[in-house]
Amino acid sequence: MKHDPKASHCQCGGKMSRRGFITALGVGAAGVAATGAMTARTATAKETPMIPSGEMARIDLTVNDRAHTLLVEPRWTLLHVLRESLGMTGTKAGCERGECGACTVLIDDIPRYACLTLAMEVQGRRIVTLEGLMEGEKLGPVQEAFLEEDAFQCGYCTPGQIVAAEGLLRADPNPSSETITRAMSGNLCRCGTYPHIHNAIQSAAGKRR
C-alpha cells in the first residue's frame, strides 16, 4: 500500500479523509459508552422486583378492630378495598383525588384520605371507618351531635365530616373555634352547612367530656 503524506486520502482505494477517520472514531466511542449506560440501567431494572399488572398480593388489614386477610392488586386504594372488598360503603367516593374529604378515615387516629392511600401501605395500622364509630346499633357521640345540630343536607360529605371531627376530638378533646375551622378545612360541603358542622363538633366535644 502506498501512502502520499501530502494527500488527504489514503491510497488504498478508500475515500476517508483524516478528519473523517477521527470523526468516525469519536462516533464509535460514543456508541460504546451509550451501550454501556443502557446495559447498566437494564441490569439495575432487573434487580428491582416488580409485581406484574393484574397480579394479586395478600395483605392483612385491621379495620374497626377486626382483622381481614385480602387479595388485592398493589394499585388498589384503601377506598376501593373498603367499599368493594369489605362492603364498608360508609366511606364515600367523591373526587377521588384528595380534594373533597368524603373518603376520610382514621389511620392510627389520624384523619387521612382513603382515595390517596394504597391498601398495601396500611398493613399493621389501625383503620377506623364511619361504621367503627357506632356502639353496636347506637350512634357515637359525634354522629349524634351531627344529627341533633342538623349538620347536613344532601348528606354525601357527612361520613367524611364525622370521621374528621372524630379524629380532631381524639387529638384535642376541647378544641377552640379556630382549631375546629382549621382541622375541618380539608372536608368540603357543597351544601354549605359549615355553621351547623361547627356547632355539632362543639356539642360532640361536650358529650365526650
Task: Write out pLDDT tens, residues 5-57.
Answer: 444 444 444 555 555 544 555 555 555 444 555 544 554 445 545 656 668 99
CATH number of the domain at 57-132, out of 3.20.20.70, 3.10.20.30, 1.10.760.10, 3.20.20.140? 3.10.20.30
pLDDT in the model for residue 19: 56
CB 91 within 8 A of CB 79: yes
Q: From CA 4, how far away is CA 150, in angstroms rounded?
A: 101
81-132 pLDDT tens trace: 999 999 999 999 999 999 999 999 999 999 999 999 999 999 999 999 999 9
Of 31-35, 52-56, 72-76, 157-161, the poorest mean pLDDT is in 31-35
Residue listed under C-alpha cell 488504498: 12
Is beta strand 57-63 parallel, antiparallel or unpaired with respect to 126-128? parallel
Between 198 and 38, residue with greater pLDDT: 198
Residue 65's alpha-carbon distances to 76, 141, 143, 181, in angstroms, are: 21, 19, 19, 30
**Side-chain-side CA neighbours of residue 50 (13 Å):** 8
Name which CATH class applies to 133-208: mainly alpha
Confidence at 63, pLDDT banded by 50, 70, 90: very high
